Amino acid sequence: MENRITQLFEIKYPIIQAGMIWCSGWELASAVSNAGGLGIIGSGSMYPQILQEHILKCKASTVKPFAVNVPLLYPDIDKHIKIILDEQVKIVFTSAGNPKTWISIFKDHGVKVVHVVSSSKFAKKAEDAGCDAVVAEGFEAGGHNGREETTTMVLIPLVKNAVHIPVIAAGGIATGSAMLAAFALGADGVQIGTRFAASIESSAHDAFKQKIISSEEGDTLLAMKKVVPVRMMRNKFFDEIQQAEDRGATADELKQILGRARAKKGMFEGDLDNGELEIGEVSAQVREIKPAAEIVEEIWQEFIKGKEKLAAM
Ligand code: NDP
Ligand code: NDP
């Protein structure tokens, strides 16, 4: 299949693996790219030198296109961007900030820029800034989330209506059927996080992967709206945050409870009680830890079969 997303990134399937802190290093990104999707290195948790190592290893492991996700609030962002340009990475996914600040430097170097948004207003801003595509990420998604709490089902048609550039749907998508639903709503591609966080090549701690595949409906919730809304798994840390929120804790008090490096503790070091386990709602549908290539192929086959089934209706 060819469409605007496969053409934009020069990939086989319009399936993109989300950049996820502590989960998507070079191993996952190169596995997804080798399987025909677009793999993304999540740079938000990487010190500059580590990011450079991961880019070099990714280049050594695949000849296919891959991207780097750059959360724009990263403290050493200028160092990250210099590395991305020096290493001639061709595609960047920006998130958590305004892409306008950095877009001209990327464009001057021929880098394709995709921005992650949670509303049609920000999608329009990204298009006006010169982005090549947007990821429209709904409320089901893990990690940082939009304040408006718009679900993927509502967000995709709104964003599609607001912009002319290709729209990549994200949030709650882990299967070929969900991909088909996103395409029915107007998406040109899908970005999938949670399903790949629980893959063999994900750099997440094995205890966290096991927790994902044994989780049930209702096990992820949104917390910390006063600071930055984050979807995470319920655990001891979540309960502490929720109790504080229930008694009316201020943003500063919540930040104090959060402390530093909570996500690393939970997702990378496997402390399931005290760590912050950022993951999407769709984890309740993920039941097995599989190689990334198998996941890509499974999603694609289910998408094709579902498309034929609907056409025959
Ligand atoms: P790699 O085996 O691919 O290591 C990549 C490179 O990072 C290696 O060359 C290694 O150098 C270097 N490195 C390792 N630890 C550090 C450190 N603390 N400070 C500076 N450089 C370091 O990947 P690994 O899975 O072993 O992880 C390497 C590092 O990358 C870890 O520190 C981890 O925190 C980070 N990481 C981050 C991910 C994320 O999503 N943010 C995902 C996976 C890993 P040397 O050859 O000297 O060992
Ligand atoms: P914290 O401030 O609590 O901790 C920073 C973490 O990032 C530490 O674990 C640290 O590793 C690591 N790190 C990597 N590079 C740097 C650096 N230059 N300076 C300081 N720390 C660094 O932040 P979070 O863990 O909550 O978030 C980390 C990053 O990930 C942020 O940039 C945030 O925007 C992004 N993020 C993106 C999300 C998404 O959905 N895309 C979701 C959540 C966060 P160490 O402990 O080894 O020092």
Q: For residue range 238-294, list pLDDT tens digits in order.
A: 999 999 999 999 999 999 999 999 999 999 999 999 999 999 999 999 999 999 999
- CA 188 / ligand 2 centre spacing (Å): 30
Tell me the C-alpha to C-alpha distance, in Å, between residue 56 and each of 13, 60, 99, 311. 24, 6, 25, 44
188 and 247 assigned to the same domain: no
Residue that has been written with the tokens 């679900």 in this structure: 151
**Ligand 1 site-directed mutation target among 21, 50, 59, most atoms within 8 Å of CB:** 50
Minimum-distance ligand 2 atom for the alpha carbon of 268? 9
Q: Is residue 297 part of a domain?
A: yes
Q: What is the pLDDT confidence band of residue 166, given thresholds at 50, 70 and 90?
A: very high
125 and 22 assigned to the same domain: yes
Average pLDDT, the chain: 97
DSSP 56-107: HHHHHH-SS-EEEEEETT-TTHHHHHHHHHHTT--EEEEESS-THHHHHHHH
Position 295 pLDDT exceeds 90: yes
Minimum-distance ligand 1 atom for the alpha carbon of 42? 40
Average pLDDT for residues 20-29, to the nearest whole number? 98
What range defines the domain where residue 248 resides?
A: 206-282
Q: Is residue 312 part of a domain?
A: no
Give tens-digit pLDDT for 145-160: 999 999 999 999 999 9
Ligand 2 atom 8: the closest Cα is on which residue?
261
121 and 44 assigned to the same domain: yes
26 and 116 assigned to the same domain: yes
268 and 299 assigned to the same domain: no
- CA 80 / ligand 2 centre spacing (Å): 13
Q: Which residues contact 157 (CB under 8 A, 6 or more apart)?
A: 185, 186
Q: Is residue 262 part of a domain?
A: yes
Find the ligand nearest to 71 CA.
2
What is d(CA 210, CA 77) in angstroms, rounded to the nearest whole number? Answer: 33
The one-character DSSP state at 11 is -
Give tens-digit pLDDT for 70-95: 999 999 999 999 999 999 999 999 99
Q: Which residues contact 229 (CB under 8 A, 6 or more apart)?
A: 144, 145, 146, 147, 149, 222, 223
Total domain count for the chain?
2
- CA 264 / ligand 1 centre spacing (Å): 13
Position 96 pLDDT exceeds 90: no
Find the ligand nearest to 43 CA.
1
Pocket of ligand 1, beta carbon within 6 A: 21-26, 42, 45-46, 49-50, 53, 57, 203
Q: Is the CB of 143 under 6 A from ligand 2?
A: yes
* Ramachandran quadrant class, 218 (left: phi over 0; alpha: psi -120 to 50; beta: rest): left
210 and 225 assigned to the same domain: yes
Report the predicted TM-score, pTM, of the whole model to 2 decimal places. Answer: 0.91
Q: What is the pLDDT confidence band of residue 1, given thresholds at 50, 70 and 90?
A: confident
Q: Is the CB of 218 under 6 A from ligand 2?
A: no
276 and 294 assigned to the same domain: no
Ligand 1 atom 40: the closest Cα is on which residue?
22
CB-CB contact of 207 with 185 (8 Å): no
**How many Å separate Cα 179 from the centre of its chain?**
15
198 and 49 assigned to the same domain: yes
- CA 121 / ligand 1 centre spacing (Å): 37
DSSP 250-277: -HHHHHHHH-SSHHIIIIIT--TTTS--
Average pLDDT for residues 43-69, to the nearest whole number? 98
- The pLDDT, as a whole number, for residue 97 is 87
